[in-house]
Amino acid sequence: MNLQGKTALVTGASRGIGAAVARQLARAGCAHVIIQYNSYAEGAQAVMADIERAGARALAVQADFSSMAGVHALLAAVSEAGLAVDVLINNAGSLLKRAKLAEMDEETYDAVMTLNAKSVWFLTRALAPAMIRKGEGADVNVSSIAARNGGGPGATVYAASKAAVSAMTKGLAKELAPQGIRVNAISPGTVDNYFHEVFSTREVLDGVVKMTPAGRLGTNEEMADLILFLCSPQAAYIHGQTIEINGGMLAP
C-alpha cells in the first residue's frame, strides 16, 4: 500500500478509526499526515508521536466541526502550513446525543448535520482544486450502517447525515473521476471503540454481536485497513462506492 511522499489529512483522528487510519497512512509512506481533533488533545498528541515514529511529519489541528467555523479553522491551518492534500479522509462524526423527534432541537440538528455531512462537502470543495491540478487524489468518506437502517433509538438525524455522506460520495465521484480523483466511502457496522462506549450499553452491544454473522464487533484497525486500500494504487478503478464493513450484518 505504497503512498510514498503523499500528504494526507484525517479528520476526527485523536482516537478510534481516525487514529488508526492516521497511523497506517504514516506507515504506508505518507510524508505528511495532518490530523484534526476536537476535545481529546492527549489522544492527538499520542497519534502525532506515532506518526513521527513511522517517519512522517505530523500536524495536529484543533477544530470543532459542529459549526463551520471549525472547518474554516482547519483549512486555514493547512494553508498556513503550505501543504497540498493528496489524500483526504473525512472521518469526523458523532451523534452528539441521542434525541428522538420531540427532543431534537434546531441547534442540535444543525450541529449534527454540520459535523457529519456539511464538513465533508466543504472540506472536499476546498481541497479538491489542488488534487485536480495534480491530476490525482483520493478521498475516502466514513458513512455508517445507520445510513441503511435508520440508526438506533434517538439516532435518526445522525443516520440521515450519514446517508447524505453516502449520496455525496456517489455524486462527487462522478464529478471528480474525470479529473483523476477517486471518491469512495466505507460504511462501518458496530465497531468496538469510544463512540459506543459513549452512546451504547454493553447489553446493546452484546445483542449486536448475537445478530452479527461474524460473531463479534469490528475493530478500528479493520476499518483503517479498508480505508488504506481505497487510498492505494491497488484501488485505482474503484469510484463512487460505499463499501459495507459490518461482519455480515447487512449480508443479503
- CA dist 5 and 83 (Å) reads 12
- Residue 51, judged by CB atoms within 10 A of its CB (0-12, 13-18, 19+), counts as buried
Question: In whole angstroms, how large is the CA radius of gyration of the chain?
Answer: 17
- CA dist 209 and 62 (Å) reads 34
What are 102's three cell numbers?
420531540
Widest distance between CA atoms in the chain: 50
DSSP assignment, residue 49? H
- Residue 36, judged by CB atoms within 10 A of its CB (0-12, 13-18, 19+), counts as buried
Tell whether the torsion through CA atoms of 185, 190, 192 and 196 is positive or negative: positive
What are the catalytic residues?
A: 158
The three-state secondary structure class of 220 is helix
- CA dist 182 and 178 (Å) reads 9
What are 62's strand-pairing partners?
A: 37
Contact yes or no for 33/25 (Cβ under 8 A)? yes
